[in-house]
Chain A
């Protein structure tokens, strides 16, 4: 059993994440980046590029991917996988949106930092 009432953690409003941009959820284990694509859909990844650990939240969001600010790896927002010739994965955290609020799956949070 979890220690709180709900397995879904309210991390903020969809409107608080800029379109084609991102915000960070600061967790004790590390940062989670919440991205919002041009069409308004939100995604969450561990904020750490599989390449050299760059903060993906600081990258440019385009389509359903983000380009890491350090060395331009492109990461798929849906899978966390590096695209193109690069290989690696940044763990995805499950999200759901309800009434304009973003909820993160608490049960899967720890796994993201595994």
Chain B
């Protein structure tokens, strides 16, 4: 006699159980399935592609009407079971009908968790669970407007990305500091946030939703507990799920968070099984598909009298289904004292991989950007095999562990034409391929010019190059970046970007992470790296004096005979009898052979012996003078004229302003030297129009110009802007200098930098965008906090004393044979 199997729920878990049962015992059960949704079974995890429009509902159906018919399954679409009578072994459904069972499978899934705040029941608030939710979102998206997604987990982000593709202005509100914090570590969460933002999704973290407010009877926006409000035509609640165990509870089954099952997937009633998100097994509830399938296998075995398989819990892995965002995590990836980690970062490609090891086994993996080896790592996590032998190359994945090698272009080749390649400019793969064909493009610059792809942040350059290679075959020659030096293939800009993106904070770390070809660099790269690190991590980086050119290491200028020249600061070119007297005394005392007035309005003492430097500085310090940084890739001089103090043409206090600027900016390190000048009137006696930064005072304010030169090249400055007050003048100059500090390549003078990045882009950041200017200014001010220490005084006090004394002085007797 055929046994009666009743299945409550028609989701993925139920479908998989039936697949497995019919495979081994097709005729054993007469099956009735109750599905709350008015449709056949479909792959719920592919709802996101339906939302984004990449798939239609038909594409994600797993069991169609024909399947139910062929297997003799009585599918009750849109019918809920309202009661279970375990004594009578019957279920009562929402139509009042009673159905008898021999075996019962509860697969009621989960419910979206609704945070209990005012307004959650308003029209316009949806959850993200089934096709009806997707349809509701699609209907809302058609009208456009704002959507707020509450919850920055897997579902919330998929919903957000889909709604953004559908043209809504989307914000994600997330309680925690980083996205998907349960599946990702902070670094990957940060990369993910950038990727979401590149998809025009605003991400607001550490944000607690207080209420959903209404207008005209509908949800109109979200109120955060810090008082911020976000407009919303649609609110998607995606903060998590809860096992739907109420029916099981009503039926008198043992229920905790979910319906409690044993390793055989039986509930407290031996004839009642439960599967999927509604169950709790060994204290664990699952919300992902893999455990469901493992459970389904065990139940099917029980239902077909195979006693062997048991369910012992699942390792979890997560993938985010947002086109162009590759993200994978598996296992346990928390830090711990007994754990090691292996991290690979490639900031240019947006790749982050982190493996967590414990006792020589892999226990967790987080991957972002390149997840090709996700399944490989996941298998290693599950198997718990000893990875000591492959540990050295483990992070590089299966290829290096001896498996099949992957075609580097395969990933891009597999993307649909609609896949977005350049997030900054919203350029998709098809557009790039079309442009390559139509315009006959052969290199990355051509693609940039015609499509704007890779023209902004450049992080998609690798992808665009793969598309070029794929489209042109051998006709594509990869653009060559001028490497920083022979120690690396990376150019200055790449190195710099990677220092920031990977948070590299020491020279050895940069060399390690960026795969330097030499053990400790060379005289070209080391000073550049030292500068980049100093500029990018002003509060944290410790200056490496051995990576400084000699002049900056000993704070004086080496001369052809190995002696040094010493130039004390004269603020704004002003000096005094006592300073001059001190300089004269120093020159006499140390028999300094030459004293010269420089072009920067100060005095140079030439021919000082290295051993004498600290003593010379001590005397100059005592007279109130500090290092003039005449040797520095940094602020040199601020030349001035006498301005309104003395000059009958002067319009402003040019001397005073020059001194103010110099006192504010001295000590700052820059990619190359920076010379400034302030002239009190357009007659320009301070020659401000051939300086790196020049100010010309006029009656109504201050004209700031920059990017001049009067050396190897002679260039007049470019007009930057005119400001009314000294304060604005200082803010603008500091912001300009900071932008140059952040963008300039080491040894690249300001005028060369300005040509490379474009005067307009500089003006846009420093003049047009007040917020950006203030940020630059703030960063400059922060950096100055640790920069304004007189290096001479430090050395007078004994710092690096070994620099200035021989290790040993041999007498004639010792040295003679």
Give A residues with C-beta under 8 Å from B.
Answer: 2-4, 9, 11-12, 16-21, 23-29, 31, 34, 38-39, 52-55, 58-63, 67, 69-70, 72, 74, 106-107, 109-110
Contact = CB atoms under 8 A, between A and B. Distances in A.
Contact of A55 (B546, B547, B562, B809): B562
Interface string B802-817: 1000111111111111
B191 interface: no
10 contacts: A3-B813, A4-B813, A11-B808, A18-B546, A24-B807, A54-B560, A60-B526, A62-B520, A62-B526, A63-B519
Given A26-B806, A62-B523, A70 B558 contact: yes
Nearest to A68: B523
B288 interface: no
Q: 8 closest pairs, A vs B, by CB?
A: A67-B523, A23-B807, A12-B807, A60-B523, A20-B546, A55-B562, A58-B550, A11-B808
A81 B729 CA distance: 53
A70 B560 contact: yes
A106 B813 CA distance: 11
A83 to B, nearest CB: 11
Contacts of B547: 20, 60
A104 to B, nearest CB: 9
Given A53-B562, A74-B523, 8 more contacts: A3-B813, A4-B813, A9-B808, A12-B807, A26-B806, A60-B522, A70-B558, A109-B815
A2 B815 CA distance: 10
A34 B167 CA distance: 68
A26 B551 CA distance: 21
A28 B815 contact: yes
B124 interface: no
Interface centre among A18, A26, A67 (most CB of B within 10 A): A26
Contacts of B551: 69
B401 to A, nearest CB: 32
Nearest to B814: A9
Nearest to A113: B815
Contact-residue size bin, chain B (C-beta under 8 Å from the other chain): 20 to 34
B523 A63 contact: no
A58 B558 contact: yes
Contacts of A59: 523, 550
Contacts of A17: 807
Contact of A12 (B523, B560, B808, B812): B808
Contacts of A11: 807-808, 810
A109 B491 CA distance: 44
A31 B561 CA distance: 13
Given A4-B814, A110-B817, A25 B522 contact: no
Interface in B275-317: none
Interface string B368-409: 000000000000000000000000000000000000000000
B815 A27 contact: yes
B806 to A, nearest CB: 4
A70 B563 CA distance: 12
A106 B814 contact: yes
B523 A34 contact: no
A60 B546 contact: yes
Given A60-B523, A63-B520, A109-B815, A69 B808 contact: no
A11 B811 CA distance: 12
Nearest to A17: B807
B527 A23 contact: no
Contacts of A20: 520, 546-547
B537 interface: no
Nearest to B815: A27
Contacts of A19: 546
Contacts of A31: 806
Contacts of A25: 806-810
Interface string B539-567: 00000011111110010001010100000
Given A2-B817, A63-B518, A70-B560, A28 B523 contact: no
Interface string B181-201: 000000000000000000000
A49 B815 CA distance: 22
Given A28-B812, A106-B817, A67 B522 contact: yes
Contacts of A58: 550, 554, 558, 562
A4 B809 CA distance: 16
B162 to A, nearest CB: 53
Contacts of B809: 25-26
B817 to A, nearest CB: 6
B364 interface: no
A90 B392 CA distance: 41
Contacts of B518: 62-63
B183 to A, nearest CB: 41
B805 to A, nearest CB: 8
A23 B430 CA distance: 62
B560 A52 contact: yes
